[in-house]
Amino acid sequence: MNRRLTIIEYCRIYKVEPEFLEELEENGLVEFGTEKSVKYVLEENFADLERFRVWHYELHVNMEGIDVIRNLLEKQAHLKSEVLELKRRLGFYE
């Protein structure tokens, strides 16, 4: 079973405003679960939320910037895996 925290618990522990999490959700950057009308964060989202928290609160990046950075990192990861696949294929012909 996945560990999860309610939004209120997450905000208290990680010292973020609930509005920050709401903005992330509104911008499609993260999804929260809901049970009995209580929103919660699943453990699998903790790493992304920590990254977004640092970018926003420590580096002062706005929501649009967070989205751009996330998209660029996803593209970089995709290109990296594509390069590795091409190297693997090239090795076949050498």
User: How do residues 49-92 score in pLDDT, each as one tens digit?
Assistant: 999 999 999 999 999 999 999 999 999 999 999 999 999 998 87
Q: What rounded mean pLDDT belongs to the chain?
A: 93
CATH number (domain holding residue 29): 1.10.1660.10
Q: In the chain, count H helices and then E strands.
A: 4, 3
Structure tokens at 71: 């998209």
Q: Which domain holds residue 34?
A: 4-93
Domains in the chain, number: 1
In which residue are the tokens 């706005």 written? Answer: 62
